[in-house]
Amino acid sequence: MAQHKRFQDLNLVDAYLFAAALEDAETCRLALEILLGRKVGHVTVHTEHTVLFSRDHRSIRLDVYAQDDEGSDYNVEMQGESEGNLSKRSRYHQSQMDVMSLPPGSDFNELKPNYVVFICRFDPFGGGLFRYTFTNRCTENGMELNDGAVRLFLNTKGKNADDVPEELVHFLEYVENSTAECADRQTDDRIRHIHKRVTAVKENQEWERKYMTFDELLKKEYKKGLQTTLLLIQKMQEAGEADKISMLSDEDFFEDMCRKYGVISEED
């Protein structure tokens, strides 16, 4: 397990600081403008979704959910390492937003555009791009479906700086290195505004206290998950299924094996 950083050493690429900073509506709006490359109106950030502790999935997720004044929904998430499931995860997030935004009995035409945004510290598709944008289109003639669903994957390790807005490249640099020195090098006032919010969060003792609690939860969940995995591996070896252990990286298969062998991670 990687050593966790001190609160003051966090960068925006660390999911906790990213969620804390973007809980502020104006900071969230400015970040969305840079990431999407277009103007975004006033946004409301749904803070109840910012920190989600899920024992069912043995993990802690930090997402930012927001809605602009035209009703468009945004789900933004930091992704530190590849788990090989971003495409399917983005599909799931998009469907969840649709369910939450459309009350029972409503007309489907009332669905507003929604955007799932992953900011990755790795190249999610190996194309060297800073930004990958996916929409639904016809395979036969390329016609857009125009269903309002957009999935966006940002890559802090991109190489095509000449093909994307300069401010996007600078923001992704700042995400990796959220220091005053990096912010001062940028010409975009939006990045400097975001840095003021980052500084304010780091100076807030309540946010630091929450981070320490979060860090302890993460360590407990890691230990609990590790113990569960080791026990499951032991049971699979005893049952002659050692050849399937390499498949445990697949979450659905892991859950199936846990149920099969009665392996349950108990709460502390």
Q: Does residue 140 carry a pLDDT above 60?
A: yes
Whole-number pLDDT of residue 59: 41
Q: How many residues does the chain have?
A: 268
Paired strand residues for 153: 118, 132
Q: Does residue 217 carry a pLDDT above 90?
A: no
φ and ψ at residue 63, rounded to 5 degrees: -120, 160
Which of 92-101, 108-117, 251-260 is most confident? 108-117
Q: pLDDT-based confidence at 256, cuts 50/70/90?
A: confident
Percent of the chain with pLDDT over 70: 88
Q: Does residue 195 carry a pLDDT above 60?
A: yes
Interval 79-107: pLDDT, tens: 988 888 899 989 988 998 898 888 888 99
Percent of the chain with pLDDT over 90: 59
Q: Does residue 268 carry a pLDDT above 70?
A: no
Mean pLDDT of the chain: 87
Q: Does residue 190 carry a pLDDT above 80?
A: yes
Interval 33-77: pLDDT, tens: 999 999 999 999 986 544 444 444 434 456 899 999 999 999 999
